[in-house]
Amino acid sequence: MKRRNTPSKQAVLDVLIQSGQAMSHDAIEGQLEMDINRATIYRILNQFCEDGMVHTIVANDGKHYFALCNNSEIAPSGFHFHFSCTKCKTISCLDQEVQLNLPPGFVMEKANCVVTGTCQNCV
Protein backbone atom coordinates (compact mmCIF):
# COMPACT_ATOMS: atom_id res chain seq x y z
CA MET A 1 0.00 0.00 0.00
CA LYS A 2 1.35 3.33 -0.93
CA ARG A 3 1.04 5.82 1.90
CA ARG A 4 -0.90 9.02 1.48
CA ASN A 5 -0.34 12.23 3.33
CA THR A 6 -3.30 13.35 5.35
CA PRO A 7 -3.97 16.08 7.88
CA SER A 8 -4.62 13.41 10.50
CA LYS A 9 -1.25 11.77 10.08
CA GLN A 10 0.47 15.10 10.16
CA ALA A 11 -1.37 16.12 13.29
CA VAL A 12 -0.45 12.93 15.13
CA LEU A 13 3.14 13.27 14.03
CA ASP A 14 3.24 16.88 15.19
CA VAL A 15 2.02 15.89 18.63
CA LEU A 16 4.71 13.26 18.95
CA ILE A 17 7.42 15.64 17.77
CA GLN A 18 6.25 18.42 20.01
CA SER A 19 6.09 16.25 23.13
CA GLY A 20 9.45 14.52 22.77
CA GLN A 21 8.15 11.76 25.03
CA ALA A 22 6.53 8.41 24.57
CA MET A 23 2.80 8.94 24.53
CA SER A 24 -0.23 6.74 24.91
CA HIS A 25 -3.12 6.95 22.51
CA ASP A 26 -4.98 8.72 25.27
CA ALA A 27 -2.38 11.42 25.73
CA ILE A 28 -2.03 11.92 22.01
CA GLU A 29 -5.74 12.37 21.59
CA GLY A 30 -5.69 14.87 24.42
CA GLN A 31 -3.05 16.97 22.69
CA LEU A 32 -4.66 16.92 19.27
CA GLU A 33 -6.47 20.06 18.23
CA MET A 34 -8.26 18.20 15.50
CA ASP A 35 -10.82 15.56 16.46
CA ILE A 36 -9.65 12.20 15.18
CA ASN A 37 -11.39 8.93 15.76
CA ARG A 38 -9.78 6.51 18.17
CA ALA A 39 -9.51 3.72 15.61
CA THR A 40 -7.92 6.13 13.18
CA ILE A 41 -5.33 7.28 15.66
CA TYR A 42 -4.37 3.69 16.38
CA ARG A 43 -4.18 2.92 12.68
CA ILE A 44 -1.94 5.90 12.12
CA LEU A 45 0.33 4.96 15.00
CA ASN A 46 0.56 1.34 13.92
CA GLN A 47 1.41 2.51 10.44
CA PHE A 48 4.15 4.73 11.76
CA CYS A 49 5.51 1.70 13.57
CA GLU A 50 5.44 -0.45 10.45
CA ASP A 51 7.31 2.28 8.64
CA GLY A 52 9.96 2.45 11.34
CA MET A 53 9.26 6.04 12.32
CA VAL A 54 7.87 5.12 15.70
CA HIS A 55 8.47 2.38 18.22
CA THR A 56 6.22 1.18 20.99
CA ILE A 57 6.77 0.62 24.66
CA VAL A 58 4.46 -1.47 26.79
CA ALA A 59 4.46 0.23 30.16
CA ASN A 60 3.55 -1.13 33.56
CA ASP A 61 -0.03 -0.03 33.16
CA GLY A 62 -0.27 -2.42 30.23
CA LYS A 63 -0.81 0.41 27.78
CA HIS A 64 1.12 0.97 24.59
CA TYR A 65 3.19 4.10 24.41
CA PHE A 66 4.47 5.45 21.12
CA ALA A 67 7.72 7.28 20.66
CA LEU A 68 9.49 8.67 17.64
CA CYS A 69 12.59 6.80 16.58
CA ASN A 70 15.63 8.97 16.49
CA ASN A 71 18.09 8.27 13.74
CA SER A 72 20.42 6.16 15.83
CA GLU A 73 17.54 3.82 16.51
CA ILE A 74 17.25 2.94 12.86
CA ALA A 75 20.07 0.49 13.39
CA PRO A 76 18.68 -3.03 13.52
CA SER A 77 18.36 -4.62 16.96
CA GLY A 78 19.07 -1.34 18.69
CA PHE A 79 16.88 -2.03 21.66
CA HIS A 80 17.18 0.40 24.49
CA PHE A 81 15.81 0.88 27.97
CA HIS A 82 13.00 3.23 28.79
CA PHE A 83 12.39 5.15 31.94
CA SER A 84 8.98 5.68 33.44
CA CYS A 85 8.80 8.35 36.12
CA THR A 86 6.09 7.78 38.68
CA LYS A 87 6.02 11.47 39.61
CA CYS A 88 5.89 13.36 36.34
CA LYS A 89 4.42 10.38 34.51
CA THR A 90 6.75 10.74 31.57
CA ILE A 91 8.17 7.82 29.67
CA SER A 92 11.35 8.51 27.80
CA CYS A 93 13.99 6.63 25.88
CA LEU A 94 17.24 6.01 27.70
CA ASP A 95 20.57 5.99 25.94
CA GLN A 96 21.28 2.52 27.28
CA GLU A 97 21.30 -0.44 25.01
CA VAL A 98 19.72 -3.68 26.18
CA GLN A 99 22.38 -6.31 26.22
CA LEU A 100 22.32 -9.61 27.96
CA ASN A 101 23.79 -13.06 27.81
CA LEU A 102 21.04 -15.39 26.77
CA PRO A 103 21.44 -19.08 27.51
CA PRO A 104 22.47 -21.15 24.47
CA GLY A 105 19.63 -21.71 22.02
CA PHE A 106 17.75 -18.55 22.85
CA VAL A 107 17.34 -15.96 20.10
CA MET A 108 16.30 -12.42 20.88
CA GLU A 109 14.03 -10.70 18.39
CA LYS A 110 12.97 -7.72 20.37
CA ALA A 111 13.00 -6.31 23.86
CA ASN A 112 10.64 -4.27 25.96
CA CYS A 113 12.50 -2.90 28.94
CA VAL A 114 10.98 -0.31 31.20
CA VAL A 115 12.64 0.96 34.34
CA THR A 116 10.34 2.71 36.75
CA GLY A 117 11.33 5.26 39.36
CA THR A 118 11.92 8.98 39.63
CA CYS A 119 13.61 10.97 36.92
CA GLN A 120 16.21 13.71 37.22
CA ASN A 121 13.54 16.42 37.03
CA CYS A 122 11.68 15.07 40.03
CA VAL A 123 14.48 15.13 42.62
Q: Give residues 16-75 in contact with DNA (rule: CB under 7 A).
A: 24-26, 35-40, 42-44, 46-47, 62-64
CB 76 within 8 A of CB 107: no
- Residue 96 in 3-state DSSP? strand
Residue 105 makes contact with a second copy by CB under 8 A: yes
* Region of 42 on the Ramachandran plot (φ > 0 left; ψ -120 to 50 alpha; else beta): alpha
Distance of closest approach, residue 11 Cβ to DNA, in angstroms: 8
Residue 37 per-residue DSSP state? -
- Pairing of β 80-85 and β 54-58: unpaired
Q: Give residues 84-103 in contact with Zn ion (rule: CB under 5 A).
A: 85, 87-88
Instruction: Specify the stretch interacting with a second copy by CB under 8 A; choose among 11-19, 25-33, 68-76, 90-98.
Output: 90-98
- Residue 15 in 3-state DSSP? helix
Instruction: Specify the stretch interacting with Mn ion by CB under 5 A; choose among 23-31, 33-41, 85-93, 99-107.
Output: 85-93
Beta bridge partners of 68: 54
> Binding-site residue total for Mn ion (CB under 5 A)?
2
Footprint of a second copy (CB under 8 A): 58-60, 62-64, 81, 83, 86, 94-96, 98, 100-121, 123
